[in-house]
């Protein structure tokens, strides 16, 4: 049995010169044969089956979260991507509206659409959840979506909350959602296992990348989900895009994406893009998953450098005397400095419903981060964003 590729095993492989051979052969999925009508852009795209949904999808699709140029979506579809991922709250609803206007003139069987409802920190009633989703359908100008997600869960309890399970199943039974899913940015293994336990979810969408210290446990949970028939989608594959706050040291994002897809229990990925050249890179990965030794070295798996990506291990939560949602702060920091998306960072910050300035009452921070982050420094830095008028960031 092949050992999980974590930092320890990477170093062993590098020492024996075996890393290149292992990774080059890791993907056994073959490129789907091109249909007669396919152009050169779509020939040779690697597809995997999204669990029991039966959907055949390219290994790289489009996360639409930060897209504000509809031509990027058009280019993605024309280039063979078929799954578009959005959410009720992205760009305060403008993201879904843009997609609705764009997709209105496309055959409904030419794409798959996933959207999400995020309860944030409140517990929504069944009717509130359904109401938010029906607004999404109106924006999207669709009668149904292919995947409806409960978004942003970090606990077993939230994943199995009776309100959300009832709302989701009601939408499926009414034909407004073909398949049901849950997404998770932290405590991923517990959420994934709860999804399997529920018997209701068809898909899990999880953070998954080369920086995650909990990689081995997460990989086990993903294998359990895939074995139970759930489709597994990877997000946050590029681990914050940059190693540094100043954006002078970019991560090799193509290598990062390939790394995630070496795991054949990951059926597809939904990296976000904001530029055409980023999409072109993803097109290339869709046809060739070979991860070279040089690309693997670029990922610096032999270093403890923290980068911008918070692993969401939640070890910090019990250490903070004020119970601050530290992983959410760290994700907001990544959105601002890694993604360069201040509007997304601000909306994420607003969802935390904070009172007063974070960390203002502490003389010294009691939190020790497993990644070595200066937690108080990052929180004070990003907390300034709450004092900027939101219309400046729109």
- Specify whether the CB–CB gap between 114 and 372 falls below 8 A: no
59 pLDDT more than 90: yes
Q: What is the pLDDT of residue 353?
A: 75
Q: Report the distance separating Cα 365 and Cα 45, nearest Å.
A: 49
| DSSP secondary structure string for all residues of 94-119 | HHHHHHHHHHTTS-GGG-EEEEEE--
324 pLDDT more than 90: no
Domain boundaries, the chain: 16-298, 317-392
Structural tokens at position 260: 């995630």
| Residue ranges of E strands in 192-344 | 203-207, 231-235, 268-269
30 pLDDT more than 60: no
Angstrom CA distances, 191 to 18, 113, 209, 210, stand at: 34, 23, 17, 20
Q: Report the distance separating Cα 332 and Cα 310, nearest Å.
A: 10
Q: The domain 16-298 belongs to what CATH superfamily?
A: NADP-dependent oxidoreductase domain (3.20.20.100)
Q: What is the pLDDT of residue 394?
A: 66
Q: What is the pLDDT of residue 304?
A: 64
Q: Is the pTM of this model over 0.85?
A: no
Q: What is the pLDDT of residue 12?
A: 42
Could you tell me the sign of the dihedral formed by the alpha carbons of 112, 253, 226, 165, in that order?
A: negative
Helix or strand (DSSP H, E) at 327: helix 326-337
Q: Report the distance separating Cα 19 and Cα 34, nearest Å.
A: 31
Confidence at 197, pLDDT banded by 50, 70, 90 = very high
Q: What is the pLDDT of residue 18?
A: 35
Question: What is the DSSP secondary structure assignment for residue 52, as one 8-state letter?
Answer: G
More confident residue, 392 or 246: 246
Residues 6+ apart with CB under 8 A from 287: 31, 44, 45, 46
- Mean of per-residue pLDDT scores for the chain: 87
- Specify whether the CB–CB gap between 194 and 159 falls below 8 A: yes
Q: Report the distance separating Cα 65 and Cα 330, nearest Å.
A: 18
What pLDDT, in 10s, does the model give residues 139-193? 999 999 999 999 999 999 999 999 999 999 999 999 999 999 999 998 999 999 9
7-16, 84-93, 260-269, 292-301: range with lowest mean pLDDT: 7-16
**Residue among 225, 169, 226 nearest 194 (CA):** 225
380 pLDDT more than 60: yes
Q: Please state, for a pLDDT cut of 90, what percent of the chain lies above it.
A: 57
Q: What is the pLDDT of residue 352?
A: 81
Residues 6+ apart with CB under 8 A from 143: 137, 175, 176
Q: What is the pLDDT of residue 71?
A: 97
What pLDDT, in 10s, does the model give residues 331-364? 888 888 888 888 888 888 888 877 777 787 787 8
121 pLDDT more than 80: no
Q: Report the distance separating Cα 301 and Cα 92, nearest Å.
A: 36
| DSSP secondary structure string for all residues of 66-80 | T---HHHHHHHHHTT
């Amino acid at each position: 049995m092949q050992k999980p590729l974590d930092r320890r095993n990477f170093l062993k492989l590098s020492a024996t010169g075996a890393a290149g051979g292992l990774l080059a052969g890791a993907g056994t999925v073959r490129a789907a044969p091109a249909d007669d009508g396919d152009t050169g852009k779509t020939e040779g795209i690697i597809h995997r089956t999204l669990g029991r949904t039966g959907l055949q999808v390219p290994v790289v699709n489009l996360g639409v979260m930060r897209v504000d140029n509809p031509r990027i979506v058009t280019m993605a579809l024309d280039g063979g991507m078929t799954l578009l991922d959005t959410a009720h709250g992205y760009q305060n609803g403008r993201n879904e509206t843009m997609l609705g206007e764009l997709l209105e003139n496309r055959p409904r069987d030419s794409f798959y659409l996933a959207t999400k409802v995020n309860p944030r920190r409140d517990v929504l009633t069944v009717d509130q959840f359904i109401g938010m989703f029906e607004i999404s359908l109106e924006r999207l100008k669709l009668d149904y979506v292919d995947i409806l997600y409960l978004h942003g869960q970090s606990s077993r309890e939230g994943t199995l909350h009776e309100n959300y399970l009832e709302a989701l199943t009601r939408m499926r039974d009414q034909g407004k959602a073909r398949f049901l899913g849950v997404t998770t940015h932290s405590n991923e293994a517990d959420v994934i296992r709860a999804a399997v336990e529920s018997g209701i979810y068809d898909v899990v969408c999880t953070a998954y990348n080369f920086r995650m210290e909990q990689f081995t446990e997460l990989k086990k949970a993903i294998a359990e989900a895939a074995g139970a028939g759930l489709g597994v989608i990877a997000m946050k594959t590029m681990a914050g895009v940059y190693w540094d706050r100043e954006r002078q040291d970019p991560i090799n994002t193509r290598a990062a994406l390939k790394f995630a897809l070496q795991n054949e229990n990951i059926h597809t990925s939904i990296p976000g893009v904001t530029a055409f050249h980023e999409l072109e890179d993803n097109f290339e990965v869709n046809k060739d998953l070979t991860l070279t030794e040089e690309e693997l070295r670029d990922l610096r798996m032999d270093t403890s450098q923290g980068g911008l990506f918070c692993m969401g291990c939640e070890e910090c939560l019990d250490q903070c005397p004020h119970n601050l949602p530290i992983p959410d702060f760290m994700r907001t920091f990544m959105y601002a400095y890694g993604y360069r998306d201040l509007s997304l960072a601000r909306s994420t910050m607003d969802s935390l419903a904070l009172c007063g300035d974070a960390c203002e009452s502490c003389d010294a921070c009691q939190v020790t981060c497993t990644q070595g982050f200066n937690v108080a420094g990052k929180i004070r830095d990003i907390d300034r964003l709450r004092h900027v008028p939101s219309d400046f960031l729109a």
